[in-house]
Structures are given as structure tokens and as C-alpha cells.
Structure 1
Amino acid sequence: MTTRFSLQEVILIFTVTIACLMVAISFDWPLFLAMIPGLLLLSYTGMKHGYKGRDFLQSSMEGLRRNRNVAWLLFYIGILLPTWHFSNTINDVNALFLSFISPAFFFTIAFLIAVMMSMIVGSAIATLSIVGVPMMAAGEQLGLPVAVVAGALVSGGFVGDRSSPISSSFQLLRMSTEIDTRTHFRTIAPTMIAGIIITSTLFLVLDFIIPKSNSAPITTFPSQDLQFGSILISLLPPLVLLLMILLGQEMKLSFTLGIGTGVIILLVRGIGISEWLEGLIYGVASLNGVLDMLPFVFFILIVGAYCQIMEDTRMAQPYIEKIFTNRNSLKKNTAKSIGVAAGISLISPNQSFPIILTARTLLPFWNLHFSKQHLSRILADSTVMFAGLVPWSLLAILCSTILGVPVLSYGPFAIFLLAMPLITWIYSTVVTEREPMKKAG
């Protein structure tokens, strides 16, 4: 069945959905419950256009099926991070990273430390909680502008939020664009490397031009008496996980081995099973446990159903087609996709919703005329980045709260987040001349 939703209907559905999400975040209500009014309105409007209840049930089941692997991975992450905490993996790695800090190159090293930690834990929030707080304290000791320090840390945190295979954003995006883990990582790696190099260079420039006070020694970092033998053992869980992923093993098996290695280490180090299980269920320190993941799992599943109904009814496609009229220029369509991503991110208070919505809405066009790999790269460099810059985004609010710096203050210095949309547009311009375009049939 093909029917056209009016622009007023589309705007009303989006308005109700976004408004309910905004209210839920403001009052700390479960986000998955906030999706229900928009889902009901979408279904009611569809029925007015002749769709049946069984059509929506079928679409919803397809959306749940597509996102179920992300839901499972969130459970695994809820087990993995507390396990790595008790095996001392996260603390030892943190101590190793912080031992390399140098006041002369504080901004650059802060960014690179946050990059490495975020690639290990797969979360900007966890990264800022682990290394961000002590580094903000050290920056204040040196008399450095807190906005620049926060910008460096947020920039590094979002490298892993975007690029780590254990990041929920990474998994959401690659499943929404229907590509596997290794393909997605290879696709987003070139712009990630370029972004890290450019961001490091700019922070190095800031290190040279911003004066630092040497009157107060840095006492925050455990720079001496490091037990490197212990640290090498602590590195085994993330190394096992990374190796399994690089070998192309199934994600559940990779996570299981990464968790199992951590469990062996924590048992050897004298952590009791009951203590580990309590942390696994309820979380520990700043790391979420399985119970903390449940509302997010439900939210991901409901958003999957919502977006699949939108996709199957082609609610937004006529209006997307009016925007994407050029079917030959990768450069122009990259710019338009970044614009759509920015628009959806500006009206969304949550990172996951714009990732799934933008990917599923734009996928038909990109799959037909170019490639879904290009789309996954563009959205990784735009939608995922915008979540840390929009002042009313939940992720940006959390970053601001942890570091104690307003979003509008650190935003101009979140160089990685600001640079990635431009880098991905330049990359599209370069590959246009190197890759044959996929034409419409």
C-alpha cells in the first residue's frame, strides 16, 4: 500500500514524539514510556490512511528483530564494564595512561588519554567519569582554562563513543545501516584517523600559545610506583575482546571471552563472587550494570518499532526525496545528509533516537544511489557528534555535569566534534573521484 502523509501530519507526529522525550528527560522518567504516545499517534494516523493493525504489528516485529542484537549487546556491556572494574582493568589502565601526563602538553595528552580510554570502555560518559574528573582537577592546579580542558576530554571521549565496537552508538549505527562490525569499523576508520591527527595538532597549538603555571605541582596522577606486571595482566580482557573482533568472531562470543577473562582475573585477585554479582546487577562506581541497561534496552526496541513503521509507511520519504534530488554527487548528498542529521539532532534530546531515525530514513536513498557504507560514515561523523554539542541533549548535559563546565563553554573547544562533519564532507569530495558511483537501476 502506498499513501502520502500530509506535511502537517508528519510535523505533528514528530512534535508529539520529541515533546514527550523532552518531558521525560526533564523529569527523569523512563524514555521508553515517552515513546508510546508518538508510537500510538503514528499508528492512528496510519490507520486513517488505510493501514491495518496487522501491518503495524508486522512492522513493529521487524523493527524489534533488527534491533534485538543491539539489545543483547547492551546486556553484555552491562556485565563487561563492572567485571573489568573488579578485575582492576579500568583502574590499572587509568593509572598507566595518567602516568604519561606532562604539564607542557596538557591539552594534547588529555585528549589522547581520553581517546584511548574511550576506545576501551566505549562510552564518553564512562571515560569522563574515569579520567575526566582527575584531569579537570589537574588542569585547575595548573591554572588552565577549564573550558579548553573540558573540550579536550569531551573530544577524546567521543572518539570511542563513535568508533569503539563496544559502544552502543557504534552498534546502533552499524545495525541501522545494515552492515557488520568489521565493515563499519573499516568504513569509519579513515575519517577517525584524520580527526585524531587534526584534533591533536590543534590542541598542540593551544599547548604552545596558552601559558601554564608551574607553581603548583600536579598531585592527582599516580605517576610513580606503577606495577607494570599487574597492568599487563589487567590489559588482557580488552586485548582478548579486540583480538576476537579483529578475527571476525561473532560479537556474543567476543564479549563472552572478554568477560570471562576478566572474571578469571578478578577471582585470582580475591574478589568474591557475591561482590562481583552485586556490581554486575546494580553497577559500580560510574559504570552501569544490567539493571541500569534495561530501560535503555526497552527504549532501543521501541524506537526500532517506531522507525520501522515510519519506513514501511514511507511517511517521510516524499519529503526526503524533495531534499535529495541529486543522484550523482557524493559531495552534495553528504552535505545534505549532515544537514538532515543536524536538524534531527537539534530537536531530539537523546542520542539514540536521531541515530536510528536518520539512518533508517536516509538508507533507501543511499543504498540505491551510492552505498550504505558512505551513509554509516557520514552519520558517525555527524549525528553521533552533534549529541555532545546540543545543549539540551542528554549526553551533552551529562558531559557538562561530570566535568562541571557548561556545554556552551566547552563546545567551541570540542574540536573533534566540530571537525568531524567537515572532515567527512572533504573525504566524500576526495573519494568521489576515486570510486565509481552506484547509479539508479
Structure 2
Amino acid sequence: MIAEIITLGLFLAGLGLCIFTGIQILYALLFGLACFSLYTLSRGYSVRETCSMLGEGMGKVKNILIIFVLIGSLTSIWRTCGTIPFILYHAMGLIDPRFFVLCTFLLCSMMSFLTGTSFGTASTMGVICMLISNAAGLDPALTGGAVLSGSFFGDRCSPMSSSAQLVCTLTRTDIYTNLKNMCRTCPIPLLISCILYVALAGRETGAQVDSGLLALFRDNFSLHPATALPALIILGLALFHVDVKYAMGASIAAAAVVAVLYQGAMPADLMKSLWTGYRAESETRLSSLLNGGGISSMVKVGIIVLISSSYSGIFSRTRLLAGVKSALQRSARIFTPFGTVVVTSVLSCAVSCNQSLATILTCQMCGTLYPSKEKLALALEDTVIVLAPLVPWGIAGAVPVATIGAPMVCMLYAFYLYLLPVWNLLTAFYHERPKAPVPASHS
């Protein structure tokens, strides 16, 4: 037990040091990798077995890494081909500052439900809404919070969501049964979030769209209706439940054709921009609005995900977390099973720095708190899935926030993401606390 405490303590100390000193989180994760590997070796496992555990964890995120490449490409080529300028040009005239933030939340919620990807939503609809917000002079923190909330609405409850599928796999439940259960726990938090976005956006009545931006887009892009095709392809394929990777790939291919035919892009320059991101040639104001994207912007994030996900193999095949599980069993008798899952989720998200690993950890540590697999799945969806993006140094929140160019404080305005667990925690205290007996751990 002492070895486990020392190992976890060292990792948390390294993580805390990086967070409070501003050192890149990558170094803390590498330090954690060394700590956990040394622990495994000290327990009698060979170097080969330890490497196997690390590889097992990394293998679980290969799909996410592919999506990172697609997101980087999409965020660049939608700018180059004129898709984002086209939508901005036609949407800016429709802005009513009183309801724009609410519309941002609802549009991102719809997009994430259709596509099942929070990162994809943030990099498409989220970027568009954020650019319109900036052009209109609205509060970027408030709009960013609406984008973040909406992006994870579908990440939680879309049948196409990799997070929802991960929960099904971990709990061995049916995706559509889980979706039905999720629909019962979200209406009140959803309604309160909408009210808050309308109420807070009402302060922005003086915001106006700069009409000069319309001329800026007209002068620098062809705004032919065909430039909307890449966005329509994403939406259309999502309606037919096509895998998000194929949908994004099809959109990228269509955007490449549009960029060549309508924007006069050279194929060689287009290929380069997929890596470097979109860069306006001369117009300073245009560059401040549109520059960004590209696969290179996702490299650091991909490395962080790969390293942090390698931990899960060690956690699942050693007793490193055995003491934590025992403590959680006892706490559930006081705080209710759901309350214990909330606390575990917060700690897992803070330590793991990515949603997938946090979900795996929370499920591993809280798996015996619920006699019903469906209730465990619902508890995971109402906690770790939506709490992960609220950790400033975590991948789930940092990537969308960086993608849309919002300030980190926007997490405070992601109302839906914390109202959902708070509301369900209140109802859990009402319904679960009288039923405090918790099944004994079988580990």
C-alpha cells in the first residue's frame, strides 16, 4: 500500500507543479509514465510486460488520434475553400445579440448530436459561431461557454459519440437503452442553461456587426453557394449515421475541390495548408479572424493523449488503485453512489487529463457501486463525460477552447456541463441516500 501511495503522490505532485508554475503538462505526464512504469517493475513485472501494458493503453485511443488529424485538416481547409467565410457572411446579418448566445448553444448541441464529436463540433460550428461573436463584439467568454456546452451535449447522448460507445463497452450496456435513460435526466439542466444564456446575453444589446467585415469577405473570397457544400456534406452524412471519420474525410475532399475551382488555390499550397493551417496572405484584419487550424495544431494534443492513455493498461493490470477503490466503497454510504461517482470523476479528470482515460478510471473504481449496469452507465454519462471538459489542463476542454480561440474562463459559462451533475446529485440525495447499503467489492 505504501508503494501505491508514494507512486500516486509523486505523480500528483508533478502534475501540481506543472499546473502552478506554468510548465507544459507534457512533462508531468512523462514523469507520471516513469513513476507508473517503475511501480510496475517493482511489483515483479518484466520490462516486456510493462511495455505491453503501456501499449494496451495506447491502443485504446488510436481512433481519437485519427480524428485529431481530420479535425486539423478540416479546420484549415474550411477556411481556405471559403466555407467559413460564406457562412459568416450570410449569418452576420441575422444576428440579434439578445439570442445569439442561445442559438450558439442550440446549434452546437444539434451539430454534436448529429456528428457525435465534441472536437468536430467545436472545430466547425463552434469556430463559425465564435467568429460571428467576435465580429459582433459579443463577450467571447460567454459565447465560448455556449460552444463548449453545446459541443458536449451530443458527446454525451449521440449514438455516434465515441464517448457514449466507450461507456457502453465498459458497462456492457445497450447504446439505445442508455440514450433513453439520458433523456430523462437532462431536461431541467438544459432548460436552465437556455434561460441563463438569454439572461446574460441581454447585457450585450449594444453589440453590432461591423459592416466592413462583409466587404472584407467579398473582396478576399468567392462566396459562391458551392462553398457551403463541405458543411452540407458533414450534416447530410451525419443524418444517415455515417461514421464521423468518413463524414469528415468526405467534407475535406469536397472542400479541396471547391478551394481549387472557386478560390483558385494551387494543389501544392492546399496540401501544405493542411499541415500548417490557413494563413491569409496580406490582409491583417482577415488573418486575425481566420488564421488557424492545420494538423500541426493537433500534434501536441495527440502526444498528450497518447501518453496519458498509456496509464490505463497499468491501472487495469496492477493493484495501483486498489486502496482508492476501497475508500470509494466506504464513501458511497455517506455521499450516495452518485455523489461518489462525481468526486471520482473530478479526481480522474484532473489526474488523467483526458476524457477517455478518466472514463475508464471512473468505471474501474466505481463499477461495484451500482447493482444495475444501466444505472452505472447513466452515472458515468452524467458525471465524467461532461465534467472532463471543465478541467482547464485536460484535453477535453483545452482542445475545443483552443480551437475556437476563446479565453479559458469560458469554462465558467459552460452551464449545462455542471448543471447536469449538480441537478442529478440533488435528485440522488433525495432518491439514493435512504438506500445507502452498497454491494461489497468483488475485487
Give the shorter-chain TM-score range: 0.7 to 0.9
Q: Is this contact kept in 2: 1:115–1:159, CA < 8 A?
A: yes
Alignment-mate amino acid for residue 343 of structure 2: G
Partner of 1:151: 142
Q: Which stretch shows the higher mean deviation, 33-42 or 370-379?
A: 370-379
Q: Is this contact kept in 1: 2:167–2:381, CA < 8 A?
A: no
Partner of 1:363: 363
Runs of at least 5 residues in structure 1 that lack an aligned partner in the other structure:
141-145, 433-438
Equivalent runs, 1:27-426 vs 2, <5 Å: 27=23, 29=24, 31-105=25-99, 107-109=101-103, 111-112=105-106, 122=120, 124=122, 130-132=128-130, 135-136=133-134, 138-139=136-137, 146=139, 150-161=141-152, 163=154, 171=162, 174-175=165-166, 178=169, 183=175, 186=179, 190=183, 195-206=189-200, 210=203, 212-213=205-206, 218-219=209-210, 233-269=226-262, 270-284=264-278, 285-325=290-330, 332-345=336-349, 347=350, 353-364=353-364, 369=371, 370-371=373-374, 373-379=377-383, 382-387=386-391, 395=398, 402-403=405-406, 407=409, 413-425=413-425
Q: Is this contact kept in 2: 1:123–1:160, CA < 8 A?
A: yes
Q: Percent identity?
A: 16
Q: Closer, same or farther in 2 for the Cα pair 1:217/1:303, shift >3 Å?
A: closer
Alignment-mate amino acid for residue 9 of structure 1: I
Q: Is this contact kept in 2: 1:338–1:382, CA < 8 A?
A: no
Runs of at least 5 residues in structure 2 that lack an aligned partner in the other structure:
279-289, 433-438
SS of the aligned residue for 1:289 comes to coil
Q: Is this contact kept in 2: 1:378–1:421, CA < 8 A?
A: yes
Equivalent runs, 1:423-438 vs 2, <5 Å: 423-425=423-425
Q: Let me know the Cα RMSD of the aligned residues.
A: 4.7
Question: Residue 15 of structure 2 is aligned with which of 18, 41, 59?
Answer: 18
CA shift, 1:367, in A, is 5.3
Q: Closer, same or farther in 2 for the Cα pair 1:113/1:287, shift >3 Å?
A: farther
Q: Closer, same or farther in 2 for the Cα pair 1:67/1:111, shift >3 Å?
A: closer
Give the TM-score, by structure 2 length: 0.72
**Equivalent residues, number:** 405
C-alpha distance in structure 1 between counterparts of 2:11 and 2:180, whole Å: 31
Give the TM-score, by structure 1 length: 0.72
CA shift, 1:282, in A, is 0.9
C-alpha distance in structure 2 between counterparts of 1:291 and 1:7, whole Å: 37
Q: Closer, same or farther in 2 for the Cα pair 1:301/1:96, shift >3 Å?
A: same
Q: Closer, same or farther in 2 for the Cα pair 1:274/1:354, shift >3 Å?
A: closer
Q: Is this contact kept in 2: 1:115–1:160, CA < 8 A?
A: yes
Question: Once the two structures are superposed, what CA deviation does each residue of 1:351-408 show, in whole Å capped at 9, x if it has no partner?
Answer: x7242342122223555642463254124554234225x89x983996699556x73x
Alignment-mate amino acid for residue 332 of structure 1: T
CA shift, 1:62, in A, is 1.1
